[in-house]
């Protein structure tokens, strides 16, 4: 555990020294300010006697906020994690570390732990602060605590999976190639998932979308998070009116368990791949 | 009995269709500086990386300090300076060393850090950031990192390639001091002068094959270099006369080179005397290490030397 902690500390230190953490913090703060500004404008235009209209506004805002969190998670995997192994092997950083008495899986675990810590801090902040802003302007649109926790868990699992896939890719590919691969897989998954919200009679889509969800369940976790965050089954807009951005077929709660099993398998594959890598 | 520092048996590494290392069998004794010589791409670094578990051998095995090279814990007793390495540029010199102390399972010890910095000539630079160090100073820092934990076996891959002559001299002194302390140094280099002055024994590798293992003195002794003949002038008639006896002399700077065995010297003497040529000096032409190195590689034929074919012994066999 000590070695994992040391690698994680150094990785976090590196993110800080490379100004990744301050930039993430500043940009997130910028999002909060803009979000507050937009919601404030919407609340002044709200129709007091029409709660459905207000609900539609809030759901729209939450979809945008969820999309921001989704991008945040994607950017983190593409720009931070995708260069975790191969570039450090190429420039010799890992050579001096690997010659020390530590096991390779500990390096993978340490580097992943660093990203997990960042996500565990940043994602709840994003969800909670956004929810507080919404609640401040629309007091009747509060989200129950279990749903809030479910939202955060789904986003966290999405982040863990994406960062782990990026870590696995970094064992084999250069940072740019890996970033492109992970980024496009993430986007394709999202687009196919969005199309599946619209088209119900396409047999191919009904096969491709679940297959992709099994192979990379990030989109399912995103939809689950959005579903929880927007009031779940009681919200008519989410289920029918938002088209590709909504959740016409809410993923079951068991997606969280599948995500954990999936994460364990990918972690094992990543460790094994790195253990076999000639550096 | 103290086990050897390094024993390898038929180590082999194939990358795709490229044979990087082919049946390398070596024994490196405790307390010696062992030079691993070879041109670029010969397989030197690959052998070291296999011994450190950084590259998986296609075949063969190895023992370090009596333990399997696969044992992670053995690395506590081993120091490694790679040919190409990088420390995080924002770290301070002292932070690099303390971090590696922690990675080695040690408690950060500033006293040892200061000792190491003094040994590698970086005293007073504790608070300097890595990015502010020149390439040569970074190589000293790399050597300092390799010295963490008082390793008994050091793998140094081109340890002085970025250093100036003064730095190389200082490192040579350091390596000799470490040998006196009983440490074993496995030195990868193509700097022949370093090898000549430092190494107790060497191995020559090319295209993944070991061409020679033994002392450099033995290698050079076996090489016949002919004789250097110092004389004023050599008329054409004399050269023609030599040619009739299947002999020749070749001008090399201030002397003429006579590339034949000792038995041919009387014939040469007679011919030169016949042409009334004064001979001022005759000396044996010792081949340089560089000549030996180049010739060994050019012939691509293993130089006969005391090459070992070690066999890894089981515990009971070692006791016996």
Alpha carbon distance A227, A230 (integer Å):
5
SS3 B4: coil
The CA-based angle B235-B240-B243, given to 5 degrees, is 130
pLDDT for the residue numbered A256 = 93
Cβ-Cβ contacts under 8 Å, A99 against chain B? 52, 54, 75, 78, 80, 82
Q: How far apart are CA B8 and CA B307, in angstroms?
A: 13
State residue A237's pLDDT score: 65
Q: How far is CA B116 from CA A73, A260, B96, B122, B176, in A?
A: 43, 46, 12, 8, 16
Q: Please tell me the distance from the alpha carbon of residue A95 to that of residue B86, in angstroms, as a whole number.
A: 9
- What share of residues in chain B are helix, strand, coil (percent, to 5)? 35, 25, 40
| Residue B319, pLDDT score | 45
State residue A94's pLDDT score: 92
Instruction: Please report the pLDDT score of residue B314 as a whole number.
Output: 45
Mutate to test the interface with A, among B71, B79, B103, B147 (most CBs of A within 10 A): B103
Which of B75, B82, B103 has the CB atom closest to A95's CB atom?
B82
pLDDT tens digits, A17-57:
888 889 989 999 999 999 898 888 877 666 666 666 666 77
Q: What ipTM is given for this predicted complex?
A: 0.81
Residues of B whose CB is below 8 A from A276: 56
CB contact under 8 A, B99 and A6: yes
- Residue A14 has its nearest CB partner, among B86, B88, B145, at B88
CB contact under 8 A, B87 and A2: no
Q: Please give the residue of chain A at the shortest CA–CA distance from B79.
A: A99
**Between helices A145-172 and A218-229, what is the axis angle to 10°?**
160
d(CA A185, CA A177): 12
Task: State the Cα–Cα distance between residues A104 and A100, nearest whole angstrom.
Answer: 10
Q: What is the dihedral of CA A223, A229, A230, A233, to 10 degrees?
A: 70
Query: Is the CB of B72 less than 8 angstroms away from the CB of A101?
Result: yes
- Flag whether residue A16 sits within 8 Å of chain B, measured between CB atoms: no
How does pLDDT run across A193-206, given as a tens digit for each residue? 888 877 767 777 77
Chain B contact present for A146, CB below 8 A: no
Check CB contact under 8 Å for A102 and B103: yes
Chain B nearest-CA distance from A2, in A, is: 9
What are A112-142's pLDDT values in tens digits? Answer: 999 999 999 999 999 999 889 888 887 776 7
Length of chain A measured in residues: 279
Question: What 3-state DSSP class applies to B177?
Answer: helix
Contact A267, A171 (CB under 8 A): no
Q: B84 — contact with chain A (CB < 8 Å)?
A: yes
Show the tokens assigned to B217.
């003195």
What the block records as the tokens of B141 is: 């820092």
Residues with Cβ < 8 Å from A236, sequence gap 6 or more? none
Looking at the DSSP assignment, which residues form a beta bridge with residue B11?
B24
User: Would you give the DSSP letter of residue B234?
Assistant: -
The residue whose two tokens read 């193509």 is B190
Rounded to the nearest 5°, which phi and psi values hold at B124? Answer: 85, -5
Residues of chain B in contact with residue A92, where contact means CB-CB under 8 angstroms, are 82, 84-86
Give the other-Cβ count within 10 Å of B266's Cβ.
9
pLDDT for residue B77: 94
Give the residue ranges of chain B where pLDDT is below 70.
Answer: 221-224, 286-287, 299-320
Residue A49, pLDDT score: 65
H helix intervals, chain B: 44-51, 93-103, 110-119, 135-146, 165-180, 192-198, 216-221, 236-244, 265-274, 289-299, 315-319
Q: What is the pLDDT of residue A48?
A: 65
Residues of chain B in contact with residue A3, where contact means CB-CB under 8 angstroms, are 103
Residue A277 corresponds to which tokens in the numbers above?
């890598």
The CA-atom distances, in angstroms, between A106 and each of A13, A171, A277, B103, B179 are: 17, 14, 15, 11, 34
> For B96-113, b where at least 16 C-beta lie within 10 A, e where not — what string?
bbbbbbbbbeeeeeeebb
> What 3 state SS string does chain A have?
CHHHHHHHHHHHHHHHHCCHHHHHHHHHHHHHHHHHHHHHHHHHCCCCCCHHHHHHHHHHHHHHHHHHHHHHHHHHHHHHHCCCCHHHHHCCHHHHHHCCCCCHHHHHHHHHHHHHHHHHHHHHHHHHHHHHHHHHHCHHHCCCHHHHHHHHHHHHHHHHHHHHHHHHHHHHCCHHHHHHHHHHHHHHHHHHHHHHHHCCCCHHHHHHHHHHHHHCCHHHHHHHHHHHHCCHHHCHHHHHHCHHHCCCCCCCCCHHHHHHHHHHHHHHHHHHHHHHCCC
Within 10 Å of residue B65's Cβ, how many Cβ atoms? Answer: 20
CA distance A8 to A5: 5
Q: Evaluate whether B183 touches B154 at the Cβ level (below 8 Å).
A: yes
The reported pLDDT for the residue numbered B304 is: 42
For A142-174, the pLDDT digits (tens) are 788 888 999 999 999 999 999 999 999 999 999
A204 versus A189: which is more confidently predicted? Answer: A189
């Amino acid at each position: 555990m000590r070695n994992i902690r040391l690698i994680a500390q150094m990785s976090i230190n590196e993110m800080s020294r490379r100004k990744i953490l301050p930039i993430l913090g500043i940009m997130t703060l910028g999002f909060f300010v803009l979000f507050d500004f937009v919601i404030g404008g919407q609340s002044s235009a709200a129709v007091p006697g029409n709660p459905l209209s207000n609900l539609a506004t809030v759901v729209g805002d939450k979809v945008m906020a969820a999309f921001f969190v989704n991008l945040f998670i994607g950017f983190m995997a593409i720009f931070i994690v995708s260069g975790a192994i191969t570039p450090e092997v190429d420039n010799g950083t890992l050579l001096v570390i690997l010659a020390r008495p530590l096991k390779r899986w500990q390096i993978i675990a340490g580097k992943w732990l660093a990203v997990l810590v960042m996500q565990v801090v940043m994602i709840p902040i994003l969800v909670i602060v956004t929810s507080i802003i919404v609640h401040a302007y629309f007091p009747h649109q509060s989200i129950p605590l279990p749903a809030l926790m479910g939202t955060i868990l789904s986003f966290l699992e999405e982040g863990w999976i994406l960062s782990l896939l990026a870590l696995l890719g970094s064992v084999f590919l250069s940072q740019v190639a890996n970033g492109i691969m992970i980024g496009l897989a993430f986007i394709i998954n999202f687009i196919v998932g969005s199309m599946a919200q619209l088209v119900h009679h396409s047999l191919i889509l009904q096969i491709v979308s679940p297959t992709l969800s099994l192979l990379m369940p990030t989109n399912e976790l995103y939809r689950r998070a959005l579903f929880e965050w927007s009031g779940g089954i009681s919200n008519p807009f989410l289920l029918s009116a938002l088209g590709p951005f909504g959740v016409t077929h809410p993923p079951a709660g068991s997606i969280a368990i599948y995500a954990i099993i999936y994460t364990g398998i990918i972690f094992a594959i990543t460790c094994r791949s790195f253990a076999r890598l000639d550096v | 009995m103290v086990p050897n520092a390094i024993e390898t048996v038929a180590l082999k590494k194939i990358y795709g269709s490229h044979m990087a290392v082919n049946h390398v069998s070596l024994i490196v004794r405790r307390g010696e500086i062992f030079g691993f010589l070879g041109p670029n791409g010969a397989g030197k670094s690959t052998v070291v990386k296999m011994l450190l578990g950084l590259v998986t051998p296609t075949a063969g095995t190895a023992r370090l300090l009596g333990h399997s090279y696969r044992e992670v814990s053995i690395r506590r007793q081993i120091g490694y300076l790679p040919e190409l390495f990088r420390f995080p540029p924002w770290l301070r010199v002292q932070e690099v060393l303390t971090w590696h102390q922690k990675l080695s399972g040690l408690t950060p010890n500033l006293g040892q850090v200061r000792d190491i910095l003094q040994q590698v000539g970086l005293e007073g630079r504790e608070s300097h950031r890595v990015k502010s160090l020149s390439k040569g100073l970074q190589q000293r820092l790399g050597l300092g990192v390799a010295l963490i934990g008082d390793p008994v076996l050091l793998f140094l891959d081109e340890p002085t390639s970025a250093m100036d002559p003064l730095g190389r001299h200082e490192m040579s002194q350091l390596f000799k001091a470490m040998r006196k302390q009983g440490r074993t140094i496995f030195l990868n280099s193509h700097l022949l002068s370093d090898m000549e002055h430092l190494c107790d024994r060497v191995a020559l590798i090319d295209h993944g094959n070991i061409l020679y293992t033994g002392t450099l003195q033995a290698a050079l002794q076996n090489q016949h270099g002919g004789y250097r003949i110092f004389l004023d002038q050599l008329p054409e008639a004399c050269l023609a006369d030599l040619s009739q006896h299947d002999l020749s002399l070749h001008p090399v700077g201030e002397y003429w080179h006579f590339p034949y065995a000792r038995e041919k010297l009387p014939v040469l003497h007679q011919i030169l005397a016949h042409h009334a040529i004064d001979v001022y000096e005759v000396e044996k032409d010792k081949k340089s290490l560089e000549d030996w190195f180049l010739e060994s590689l050019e012939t691509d034929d293993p130089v006969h030397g005391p090459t070992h074919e070690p066999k890894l012994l089981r515990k009971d066999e070692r006791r016996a």
